Structure 1
Amino acid sequence: MTAQFQSFDDLASPAQGTRRIPLLRAELARRGLDGFVVPRADEHQSEYVPPSADRLAWLTGFTGSAGTAIVLADRAAIVVDGRYTLQAGQQVDTGLLTVVRLAETNAEAWIAAELGPRRLAYDPWLHTAKGVDDLAKAVTKAGGTLVPAETNPLDAVWPDRPPPPHAPVVLQPEELAGESAGAKIGRLREALAKDRLDGLVISDPQNLAWLFNIRGGDVAHTPLALGYALVPREGRPILVMDPRKISNEAGAAIGDVAEIAPPARLAEEIARLGPEGGAIRIDSATGAAALLGLVEAAGRRPDRGADPLTLMKAVKNAAEIAGARAAQRRDGVAMTRYLRWLAETAPSGSVTEIGAVEALEGFRRDTGHLKDVSFPTISGSGPNGAIVHYRVTRASDRTLGPGELFLVDSGAQYRDGTTDITRTIAVGEPSAEMRDRFTRVLKGHIAIARAVFPKGTSGAQIDAFARRPLWEAGLDFDHGTGHGIGSYLSVHEGPQRISKLGGVALEPGMIVSNEPGYYKTGAYGIRLENLVLVEAREIEGAERPMLGFETLTLAPFDLAVVEPALLDADERAWLDAYHARVREALSDELDEPTRAWLAQATRPIASA
């Protein structure tokens, strides 16, 4: 089987930085600059950036989804979070770039300590206004000068930079979207009026797609069309996007509610947004500092804050929830077929990490509904499983070995929903330590799944539920417990999340992941992930509105790695009930051998 949507070629290498950083330094010197900040970002702060904006990877060889390089004339660093510490150390020239762990020193702190009285440049299209403020404070502390670059100096030394993407724009049917674009625009205008705003610059392509009920293909694994929209409190919105991307059908639908303008007219259209002196909202999360400058130049007053669409989009309507359930059931059938194949094939020593990815994508393709994977599959056997965001390449590919754990984190894009699931599988007999750690992660997963909490509770307030069983053994994990999920949009959607930093209240209709983990460097990794829907809970005698979670994902956990003695009665009851639900939901869609395998895989824990 051949994977359609993923590549295993690793075209990046530490040698890239060795060759290319000197080129950037020469260009900076030519411009009279002493340093430059290179974020992993495009003009929209997208998670996945088009090849034309993948500057950090081109310069350094680091291919993670988050990171920042600071290149000075005599030193350089790349700052990454805990997910990517190991990966960055392998991918960049560590003799040229110091790998800095975000938990210990952020980019601004490194600049404040290392810059001195020099001129540091940045591209105002690749940083938010807050990001520029933070840079400015760090540069001032160092005694230096922060300089906005008129054009990106890295682009000047990138001779074969790819052109911007031009994937076609298509409509998301209203029966799946659940609400017309016109109705959404009406709700948005009400929110603008409530906040006394005269207009909004939409910079987040996810919000753009949701508002106009469109999808595209400008970035990998997320059906987005890159562009902007300008929405006045009164008057027709303007969609700023290359018209060549917009099909006649999509153009006609958009034309019912908005005008279309090419990107070259962005500044001109901003100059007409709202009345002179009016308050124009710039999204603090995705709005480039350059947009704020355009608003100011137009004689309007920039208002930095949250795009109201972000929260609207996060709360799924009835059609989106129905689509999510259908997508999860479909994906559960594919996953169950895959897990049976894995259980029967891996012990023979014939399955590699790449082969495991190809097989899983094949089972999903067999559904007839797969549009893309929702992110590159994390397929980590043994020590590779301990690399939180490991991506297998032909160079790193290894066989699933006996006595090892295999971690597979994957997802799919279906027209009616986006999926994300992680399972950790024992190949052969797991050790007692593996069973202990797996069960502690499972206990944390169950604690989130069973959580009941008052309305207004944020993800930060329940994040510790998932960690307590690990904490009790002196263990933890260095990532959030859960992130939001889009509706045939991004697999990582805000503003809701279950993490120490998740300050947004969870609301009915939001979908988040539940994915605690444990990682032993050089040995194995464990992560168990389901998607859950926030829903209202009726509790007799409750004195305030209460919420809980409905688990949407349907696939068995590997009972071979569960230590029953570590589970209490309520945890065993939850696991048995979940597995019974998986059997009931999926069995009719499976052939008889797979149905029999599933019955055994989901047997009551007392029989395991």
Structure 2
Amino acid sequence: MFQTFGAKSSPEQGPPRLARLRHEIAEEGLDGFLVPRADAHQGEYVAPCDERLAWLTGFTGSAGFAAILNDIAGVFIDGRYRLQVRAQVADDFTPVHWPEMSLTDWLETQMPGGGNVGFDPWLHTVEDVARHGKTLGKAAISLVAVDNLVDRIWTDRPAPPDAKFSAHPLEFAGEAAAEKRKRVATEQPVVITLPDSIAWLLNIRGTDIERNPVPQGFLVLHPDGAADLFAGPGKADDIADHIGTAVTVHPVDSFLGFLRGLAGPVQIDPKTCPQIIRTTLQAAGIAVIEADDPCILPKACKNPVEIAGAKAAHLRDGAAMVRFLAWLDQAGPQGGLTEIDVVKELEGFRRDTNQLREISFDTICGAGPNGAIVHYRVTEQTNRAINPGELLLVDSGGQYLDGTTDITRTIAIGTPSQTHRACYTRVLQGMIAISRVRFPKGVGGQHLDALARVPLWSAGMDYDHGTGHGVGSYLCVHEGPQGLSRRAKVALEPGMILSNEPGYYREGAFGIRIENLIVVCPAAPLEGADAREMYAFETLTHVPLDSRLIDVTLLTQAERFWIDAYHAQTLEKIGPLVQGEALDWLTTACAPL
């Protein structure tokens, strides 16, 4: 089924909804209310019933929040969404550049006399509430836990997801769930709320979140490896035999009551645990220990079976991409194509593999100026014709049982300009720098991020997003804690899969991004090197780059060698998987520079 197009709200709907929310804020005796893009499970992605931020403001980005006060309504967005938010929200909402402007600084500025700001304790983490509360308390601003005020006025709010969970076979997981539970269990009960952590730990999957095969629920893992799973009615019926008798299933509405009966102390992850869980435990006199979700790091470090699956998925997906690019190279310059046409065609090629479970996120397909909107999602209203002489940015991926893919290619439609070529080449140089780097054990993504930016910095350019994010194994296309960005402090370890995707965006003109997925692996030994443990990246994605956009005069000899070697390997790996016109196109696209 093709993805659907259309925003969940529109700018004109925002003002009356905002007025109704302000009425509820006043009725509650508050001076403001926080509206995050979050759900009770604190994952990155939310179901339609939890799209409160989009419903209220019209903003549909994957990150952000709103702070609604009596006389101003701030919508906080990072650098990826500063163009998008302008098009999606009414003038009654004020975009706020975040994290440059923090919520606490903004509230202190807007509420100089202090006041009470309400929040839903299911939708804010322990860490966030503690951090904000400590700072705001000095300004006489109090955070007050209340029932969700948006839900009071959202009369046609969708029902929660009710699809059943499914088993994820051992042939793809690579480790039995019972072994995982014993491996990550701690000395005290641990509360786990992240859907992908629960999916990984129990070797189950779900369809509760669009494009992400995760189950929504809560889990308590005990020191002996037994677990209690809390899920909606009937959702766990089909996995009873799979999870075994050591995992007990309970109704989700019994979760808080169950917590009150635990013998403490109880471990929570303050970065992902909703505040209501901490307050429930404390009210019952149960001691709380704060520590990382024990699944986070083991899930990020893929085992050999998962890495083999990722490689197989990328070859399959790469063949679909080659068929798509061959089609686009022939059809694009003729004119008549729109962004939606391209999105549908690409998904069709992936579905032709007969192994696609779902696309891994809504395809980003931006022609010309739309490509400059970093997380642009085409709708019927924004759909644009693709014209010769423009750049087309296509960021897409697939969910397969053996792996999750994510790839971006920027394509010249017709003849590119010299500006296009110069900018593209600098982005490509950054991607190559990450692909080739060797680094010692203990290095985090924050140390490597600058390598991808140096070619752009040298020309006075940059991009307002991280260079790479973690990727799951038939799980979320965005996975922590690994990453390549200034905020990615976790040391990179073998088995971690990341994206490598520098970019450049010129507002009103074009966008460029090039993305491959890479996996951390031990680096090959060098003659004369010391015994220090070194890591490197192995590239998983094999799809040609657009050589028409490469300015060879800007490249070093090592960069030219890398490109030619990458294309030779791509032809070797993908060539046997395609035929006819696609193979002819691939052979030409992979020719040496």
Please report the TM-score for the alignment, with normalisation by the length of structure 2. Answer: 0.98
| CA pair 29-88 structure 1, distance change in 2 beyond 3 A | same
For 1:52-451, list aligned pairs within 5 A: 52-94=49-91, 96-115=92-111, 116-149=113-146, 151-189=147-185, 192-193=186-187, 198-234=188-224, 236-248=226-238, 250-273=239-262, 275=263, 278-451=264-437
Identity among equivalent positions (%) equals 49
Amino acid at match of 1:75: I
CA offsets per residue over residues 383-419 of structure 1, 9 Å max, x none?
Answer: 0000000000111111111111100000110111000
Query: Distance in 2 between the 1:16 and 1:185 partners?
Result: 47
Deviation (angstroms), 1:138: 4.3
Identify which of 32, 37, 41 aligns with 1:35.
32
For 1:590-605, list aligned pairs within 5 A: 590-605=578-593
CA offsets per residue over residues 422-453 of structure 1, 9 Å max, x none?
Answer: 00000111111110110000000000000000
Query: Distance in 2 between the 1:136 and 1:339 partners?
Result: 51
Q: Is the 8 A contact 1:168 1:216 kept in 2?
A: yes
Query: Distance in 2 between the 1:498 and 1:299 partners?
Result: 41
Identify which of 527, 532, 537 aligns with 1:544.
532
Query: Distance in 2 between the 1:405 and 1:39 partners?
Result: 34
Q: Is the 8 A contact 1:445 1:528 kept in 2?
A: yes
Deviation (angstroms), 1:135: 2.6
For 1:568-607, list aligned pairs within 5 A: 568-605=556-593
Identify which of 443, 446, 460 aligns with 2:446.
460
Q: Secondary structure of the equivalent of 1:90?
A: helix
Number of the residue aligned with 1:487: 473
Query: Distance in 2 between the 1:589 and 1:270 partners?
Result: 52
Q: Secondary structure of the equivalent of 2:234?
A: helix
Deviation (angstroms), 1:142: 3.2
Query: Distance in 2 between the 1:432 and 1:126 partners?
Result: 48
Amino acid at match of 2:222: P
Deviation (angstroms), 1:591: 1.4
Deviation (angstroms), 1:265: 1.3
Q: Is the 8 A contact 1:111 1:138 kept in 2?
A: no
Deviation (angstroms), 1:106: 2.1
Q: Is the 8 A contact 2:181 2:225 kept in 1?
A: no
Q: Is the 8 A contact 2:230 2:252 kept in 1?
A: yes
Q: Secondary structure of the equivalent of 1:572?
A: helix
Amino acid at match of 2:116: R
Query: Distance in 2 between the 1:547 and 1:587 partners?
Result: 29
Query: Distance in 2 between the 1:389 and 1:529 partners?
Result: 14
For 1:461-480, list aligned pairs within 5 A: 461-480=447-466
Query: Distance in 1 between the 2:530 and 2:107 partners?
Result: 52
Amino acid at match of 1:218: D
Deviation (angstroms), 1:480: 0.4
For 1:547-562, list aligned pairs within 5 A: 547-562=535-550
Q: Is the 8 A contact 1:239 1:260 kept in 2?
A: yes
Q: Is the 8 A contact 1:113 1:142 kept in 2?
A: no
Amino acid at match of 1:124: P
Q: Secondary structure of the equivalent of 1:83?
A: helix
Matched length? 590
Deviation (angstroms), 1:5: 4.3
Q: Secondary structure of the equivalent of 2:437?
A: coil
CA offsets per residue over residues 39-81 of structure 1, 9 Å max, x none?
Answer: 1111112222111111001111111111111111122111100
1:24 corresponds to 2:10: no
Query: Distance in 2 between the 1:588 and 1:233 partners?
Result: 49
Q: Secondary structure of the equivalent of 1:245?
A: coil
Deviation (angstroms), 1:236: 2.5
Deviation (angstroms), 1:232: 1.6
CA offsets per residue over residues 151-208 of structure 1, 9 Å max, x none?
Answer: 111111111111111111000000100001100011012xx14xxxx11000101000
CA offsets per residue over residues 222-246 of structure 1, 9 Å max, x none?
Answer: 0111001001213631011124112
Q: Is the 8 A contact 1:218 1:226 kept in 2?
A: yes
Query: Distance in 2 between the 1:256 and 1:581 partners?
Result: 48
Amino acid at match of 1:296: Q
Q: Is the 8 A contact 2:2 2:344 kept in 1?
A: no
CA offsets per residue over residues 265-310 of structure 1, 9 Å max, x none?
Answer: 112221333x3xx332212222100111122123221122210110
Q: Secondary structure of the equivalent of 2:358?
A: strand
Q: Is the 8 A contact 2:427 2:514 kept in 1?
A: yes
Amino acid at match of 1:231: L
Q: Secondary structure of the equivalent of 1:105?
A: coil
Amino acid at match of 1:462: L
Q: Secondary structure of the equivalent of 2:357?
A: strand
Q: Secondary structure of the equivalent of 1:70?
A: strand
Identify which of 549, 554, 578 aligns with 1:566.
554
Q: Is the 8 A contact 1:407 1:422 kept in 2?
A: yes
Amino acid at match of 1:172: H
Query: Distance in 2 between the 1:272 and 1:544 partners?
Result: 49
Query: Distance in 2 between the 1:434 and 1:599 partners?
Result: 24
Q: Is the 8 A contact 2:236 2:249 kept in 1?
A: no
Q: Secondary structure of the equivalent of 1:244?
A: coil
- Structure 1's unaligned 5+ residue stretches are none
Deviation (angstroms), 1:139: 3.0
Amino acid at match of 2:159: P
Deviation (angstroms), 1:381: 0.4
Quick check: 379-388 or 254-263, which moved more? 254-263
Query: Distance in 2 between the 1:103 and 1:215 partners?
Result: 33
Number of the residue aligned with 2:3: 6
Query: Distance in 2 between the 1:85 and 1:593 partners?
Result: 41
Query: Distance in 2 between the 1:570 and 1:75 partners?
Result: 54
Query: Distance in 2 between the 1:576 and 1:271 partners?
Result: 62
Q: Is the 8 A contact 2:165 2:205 kept in 1?
A: yes
